[in-house]
Homo-oligomer: A and B are copies of this chain.
Amino acid sequence: MPKSPPRHVSSGGAVEPAVRRGRPTGDHVAKRAELLKAAASVIAQEGYAGASLRKVAQRAGYTTGAVTYYFANKEELVTALIESRFDRYEEMLEAARGQADIKALIEQWLALTTGDPEYWPVMSQLLAHARFEPAFAALIERRYARYREVHTSIIAAGQALGTIRDDIPADLLADQLSAMGDGWMMMFPFEPERFTPGRIQALVDAAIALISPAPDTRRTSGP
């Protein structure tokens, strides 16, 4: 019984049949992922405004029509891209939540975002444009709200343990750290040469120092 093609599968499901029967499915999911990668690459290099479907198609080695075959819209393509990026971050966040260690989280965030040299360039473009596409804006608001919660709870846990300074409310600290990250993300693409691994590490260390309890003073105030 013929079915309409499995178009526009939302990101999560990787429910591939264990045994592919009949004709190879052409692997809709994989093709979409391939196109998303091409889109990210184009956005990183040409910016969101300069990223036409044509260029995405070319980079992936297809025709424009193929892109719109796999994604109904440009909007849908970009939405899927944003989702996939956030999914990666969220995965990491879930893992980090168990550890309740903000420093570890920062390090992992660093590994994630610097592991892919396109991560910051792409995210900054998506973020800048999201406001003008209601679908994106909603998506980002939703996700960010969740991150803020998790960040805040991790920091609060750190404060309870005494590993994080407690003279500033956890939610403000969370916002500060997020803002720093977003700020680096925005500036990185301008002068990637300034953001050497060494300097990035120094910035991260400094951030950790900023949120750590006042050094040794407690001990000093002892007997």
Is A182 on the interface with B (CB-CB < 8 A)? Answer: yes
Asked whether A176 and B190 contact (CB < 8 A) given A46-B132, A49-B129, A209-B167, the answer is no
- Chain B positions within 8 Å of A184 at CB level: 179
Is A63 on the interface with B (CB-CB < 8 A)? Answer: yes
* CB-CB nearest 7 A-B residue pairs: A179-B183, A128-B128, A214-B214, A182-B183, A217-B217, A183-B183, A49-B49
Q: Do most interface residues of chain A lie in helix, strand or loop, or is the interface mixed?
A: helix
Using CB atoms, name the residue of chain B closest to A50. B132
B217, A218: Cβ atoms closer than 8 Å: yes
- Chain B positions within 8 Å of A47 at CB level: 128-129, 131-132
Is A113 on the interface with B (CB-CB < 8 A)? Answer: no
Using CB atoms, name the residue of chain B closest to A145. B191
Asked whether A206 and B128 contact (CB < 8 A) given A137-B190, A220-B221, the answer is no
Asked whether A63 and B4 contact (CB < 8 A) given A217-B214, A217-B217, the answer is yes
**A98 → chain B closest CB, angstroms:** 27
- Chain B positions within 8 Å of A175 at CB level: 203
